[in-house]
Every structure is written in C-alpha cells, then in structure tokens.
Structure 1
Amino acid sequence: MPAARKAQPESDAPVVRLQTSDEQRPAGRLLGDELRFHRERLGYTLADAARVIRASTSKVSRLERGESPAKPRDVHDLAVFYGLSREQQSQLDQLLAQAGNADLYARFADVTPNFLKRLIRLEGTAEKISVFEPRVVPGLLQTEAYARAIVQLMEVGLSDTGIERIVALRMQRQVMLDKGVPTLAALISEDVLYRPYGTASVMVEQVAFLLKATLTNRVNVRIVRTEAMAPPYPLFHLTFADGDCQELAYVEHLDGANYVTQKRQLDKYRRLLDNVRANAYGREDSTASLKRALGYWEQLAATEQPE
C-alpha cells in the first residue's frame, strides 16, 4: 500500500463544464464519492489518479464531486489501479449505469452490503439534512440501546456478533454531528415517542437523548402532532454546499436505500417536508411533548423488574 502523500496544487486553466441533467448529478456524486473513498483509503493523491486516466487533477476532482460525466474506461482503469475486488467493481458499474441513464435511474436503489457506509459518507459531506420519521427515531439520533433493539427485532437469527457490528456501524452516523456540520432538522411523529423499542429504561434513555439534542445549535428537533396528516414513510433530504449536485433525497430501509434524484421528485420531497413542518409543534411545545413522553417512560421504568 503506498504511503499517503500531499495532494499537488492544481494549475490547470479554467475549463468549460459539460452539462449534465438534474437526474444524473446525484448518481454521479455517489459514484464520485465511491472513487474518492478508495483513492484516499489507499493514500493516493489526485495527481496519482489523474495519471491513470490520462487527465488533469482538476478533472479527477470534478469527477469525484459528481460534476463531470464519468467515462466507463476511466472508472474501469481507476478500479484496476485501486485493486478493487470483483464485487467492488460491480458496485461501481451499477453507479456508473445510474449516472449515465437518468430516465431509467431517476429513482434508484442501493441494496449492496455496504449501503450504510455509503449513506454515512454521503451524510458526512452534506451541509444540511432534513428528515421526517413516522415510525422510529431517526438513525442519526438513536441511542445505542435503541438501535440494538431495532436491529434485534428485524435481524431475526443473526448472531450477537453480527448484531453488534450493525449497531456499531449505525452509531458511526452520530459521530459526524460532533464536527459542526451538517446541521440536522428532525421531524418526528409524536407516536414514535410512545412506541417501545427495548425496555422502558431504553426508551427513557432515548427520549432523554432527544431532549439533550434540542439544546444544541446543530440539531433542530420538532415533534409532529399525532392528529396531523403526514406521509406514512420516512423522508430524507440532503443539501450540499459544493459541486453542481446541490441536493439529494433518499428513503432508508434496514438493508438498503432508495435514492430520489429526479428534479420533480425532489420538488415533491421538499413540499412534503414543508407540509409536515407546518404541522409540527414549535420549539417550546416540542420540548414539552418530549418531556411528557420522558415522564411516561420514567413511570414505567420504575416498575420494571431488573434483568
């Protein structure tokens, strides 16, 4: 494995960017992020990658940001240079197809074994994340015990070691919130606060964590009133400060995610989130709702038998 080296400054003359459709850009960003991940993992610089595909460092930088259309030959050559496995190359081929066929993949699925790692990297490069959750506490705000209870429920038959690996990976999503970016706007259905995952003590810890999160400047928690009309599925919307791909939406599942990339669908997601936000309590009432739920679980926890 080569030693990490400092990236060389770019000195290329300005170039005219090729235009890509609104649907291609998000898929291209995912492909570029995957290529950047492997390059940095191996300690290569932009200049190293540029030599492989016979291009400038600025072109590689644009490719990794999803700003330039990816050529199959370039992706293949980089995959070989990075020594990727057949499975890893297959994942790149899927992303390449998605980036190159906007109509077919305007809404595409990621069901690879590494989908959660990809989501973590994607969230880590976002400037702002907005999420509505009607069923569980959003993954970015779950405590370890709460997350473990959900994984144990859904992954029946999985070994304890396997469960702990999934939980540990999900906990990595919270680490990025300590960096100052992205900011998180979380809309949570009031019903979620009373839906038990784990023991009453687990729920006490979870609701208390949400209350603590409301005190930070980076997390904005709003509780959506029970009687509000809201979508029955979760909504995630990400905005980015860099590159041409300024936004992306996705619907996360336990073992995969559907990415929404079509402009019309992105507009729909923004409108849905705006409607949900309009039916949410304000800051003070959201805090009061969380405190009521905390009191409810504390009473139940007081009657629990120790394990």
Structure 2
Amino acid sequence: MPVDSERQQFPPQHGGRPYPRPAAAEPETAARLLGERLRDMRTSRGTTMREAAEAVRGSVSKISRLERALTPPRERDVKDLLHLYAISPSQRQEVLNLLRQAQGSSWHEEYQDVTPSYLKRLIGLEAAADRVAIYENHVVPGPLQTDGYAFHVLEAVMPGDQHNRRRRELRAGRREKLLGDSGPAQGLFVVLDESALHRTVGGAACMVEQLDFLREAHERKLAQIRIVEFGNSVGVSPPYPITSLRYPADSPSEVMYVEHIDSAMYLTRAADIDRYRKALHRVFQGASDRERTVELLTRAKERYLRARRCGEPAAG
C-alpha cells in the first residue's frame, strides 16, 4: 500500500488546495496582520516589549497578546504605540485601516446567542490560519457535518432545543469558510477514528449522505481526510478532539485547541504545543493513506446501503 508524505509527519505538507487563498477581510485576519505590523515596527526600532508596555500603561503580556492577536485591539493602545514608534503618515494610515477592519463584525456574529465563547474564539482563529489539522475520536467534526448529520448530533445532546436550527446554520457557515475559497492556504487536514464511520447517526440514509460528502471533499482535495483504523487505534488515538491551527512563518506559529465536553483549552506555550504536536504526529503516522481512506469510506457506505435495503440497523 502506498504511503503519502502527510502520513509520515506532523505538521503535514501542503494540502494541495485546487486554488489559492485570496486576501481575507475577516476581523480576525485583520487583527493578526495588525499585530504583525506592530511587532515589526517595534523590533525594527529596537523598542523592548517593556518599553512598549509602559506606553500603553500595561504589562509585557498585554503587548504580547496584542502582537499575537489574542485580545481585541484597543484604538487608544494602538495610537499610543504608533506615537512611540514615530512612523510615517502612510504607515500610520495603513495600521489604522487594519485596526478598523479588526474592529468590524465577523460573519458568525449573528450567531452569538448559540456560540459559546470558546467556540467563537476557535472560529476566529480558523479564519486566520494557514493550515488547520483536526483529530476527532467520536463523530465527524462539526465543520464537515452534513445538515442531516448535524441535526441528529445536536438533537441527541439538546433534544427539541429551539436554537438547534441556528446551530446547524453556524456549522454550515464554518464548513463553507474552511472548504471554500477562503479556506486555509496550506490545507485542511482531518483525522477520524474509524469508529466515527460505524457509529450510526440518524440512520443509514443519513450516514450514506455524510460518507458521500466526506469522500467528495477528500477526492476534490478540499480536505485531506485520514482514518485511524480499529487495529491501529490503541496507543495512537488521544481520548479527546485536538485541533492544530498553524499560521504564516512571520507570525506566531501555532495554537492548539483541545476540546472537552462543555469547554476547551487554547494552548500557546511551546512546551504544550510540543506535547500535543507529538500526539497528533502519532495519530498521523497511524492513519490511512489517501487511497486507503477512499476504500474505508466506500466500504462503510456499502454497509449502510445494504442495511437500508434490508431495513435493518447498520450495526458496527
């Protein structure tokens, strides 16, 4: 069986998207560009982070968060830094334009009522990332769920909730952003535990539709999908979902998102990043190659088709 390069290492290589990513205008992307410009201005003038912190009446960590786009930029702080750095009028206008974009509204703001704060931050980080790698151990990840699959997942957790339709719309928006023209330039990589293919959600027809969608996204190279088979999962698969968000080389390189039942952790410290990167590396090494992924998706679909014809549940 051929083994492709993405299986050998983490982070994986370029995802081979069929189109380049255009310049994004999302506030999260503008905030990251703003932070990069402020950092470049500070370092090019030999200003220390402590000196910059004094100019904004804050701490070194405040400057660090601003330059890494981890907190919303405040106009007063940005203008004080521009005064400290004594930049040209044209540079000042460039930065202020980024500031206005960074303070704008994102597409997902209309779903604030159904978006937990930890998920809102993830959506913003996805918009600015050059490469997104997701490991999911129980179900198909939210951004790759069909509407029917998402309906049954949400109903299982929050049966009859009047806001579930808007939650499905939010997932559809994330799917469109990650798989569409504004998706991560270096690719979207998804690793599933094989159990997600055999855990019936919404019946056989729903699963056939979901598996068809995964195969289409994989074959069109909108996402690179890998599967950790049952025989390889012991000692390889973490017991919780992990998402790695990687950014351009000239900005803070990586953020790890580790999801729990009703909360999540965002990790940026080098030691934490290294620990979870090693966990994802083991997952990628133990996962299927490109051709095997197609085979596993096809076999799972055929099993559900047989169950649908016979009118029986597709037991795993």
Name the TM-score, length of structure 1 as normaliser. Answer: 0.66
> In structure 1, how many angstroms separate the alpha carbons of the residues matched to 2:212 and 2:276?
29
Q: What's the counterpart of residue 118 of structure 1?
A: 121
Change (3 A) 1:51 1:250: closer
Q: What per-residue deviation string (whole Å, max 9, x for no partner) do you get for residues 51-105 of structure 1?
A: 9854434776898999xxxxxxxxxxx9xxx9xxxxx9xxxxxxxxxxxxxxxxx
1:29-178 matches, cutoff 5 A: 29-32=69-72, 35=73, 49=75, 53-56=79-82, 57=92, 113-156=116-159, 158-159=161-162, 162-176=163-177, 177-178=179-180
Do the aligned residues in 2 keep the contact of 1:115 with 1:255 (CA within 8 Å)?
no
Structure 2 residue corresponding to 1:200, chosen from 201, 204, 210:
204
2:205 match: secondary structure: helix
Aligned pair in 2 of structure 1 residues 224, 51: CA closer, same or farther (>3 Å)? Answer: closer
Match of 2:183 in 1: 181
The answer on whether the counterparts of 2:240 and 2:259 sit within 8 Å (CA) in structure 1 is: no
Please, which runs of 5 or more residues in structure 2 have no aligned partner?
Answer: 1-29, 31-36, 50-59, 83-91
- 2:65·2:71 contact (CA, 8 Å) conserved in 1? no
Q: Distance in 1 between matches of 2:100 and 2:260?
A: 26
Select 1:249's aligned residue among 235, 245, 256.
Answer: 256
Give the gaps of 5 or more residues in structure 1.
1-6, 37-48, 67-77, 83-87, 89-110
Looking at structure 1, the residues matched to 226 and 122 of structure 2 have their Cα atoms a distance apart, in angstroms, of 23
Change (3 A) 1:280 1:246: same
Distance 1:278 1:243, change over 3 A: same
Q: What is the deviation of 1:178?
A: 0.5
Indicate whether 1:15 and 2:45 are aligned. yes
* CA deviation vs aligned residue, 1:130-170 (integer Å, no higher than 9, x gap): 111111111221111111111111113522xx110111112
Mapped partners of 1:27, 1:115: distance in 2: 20
Structure 1 CA distance, aligned partners of 2:136 and 2:199? 13
Aligned to 2:238: 231
Shift of 1:197: 1.5
Structure 1 residue 113, shift from structure 2 partner: 3.3
Compared with structure 1, are the counterparts of its residues 271 and 128 closer, same or farther at alpha carbon in structure 2 (3 Å cutoff)? same
Q: Please give the alpha-carbon distance, in whole angstroms, between the structure 2 residues aligned to 1:271 and 1:26.
A: 28
Aligned-residue CA RMSD in angstroms?
A: 3.6
Assess, with a 3 A threshold, how the Cα gap between structure 1 residues 154 and 302 changes in structure 2: closer, same or farther: same
Alignment partner of 1:131: what SS? Answer: strand
- 2:293 maps to 1:293: no
For 2:165, the aligned partner's letter is: E
CA-CA distance at 1:260 after TM superposition: 1.6
CA contact (8 A) 1:200 1:304 kept: no
| Offset at residue 188 of structure 1 (A) | 0.7
Distance 1:26 1:215 in 2: 39
Q: What is the rounded CA distance, in whole Å, between the counterparts of 2:120 and 2:259 in structure 1?
A: 12
Give, in whole Å, the separation in 1 of the partners of 2:117 and 2:254: 22
SS in 2 for 1:140: helix
Q: 1:269 to 1:51 in 2, by over 3 A?
A: closer
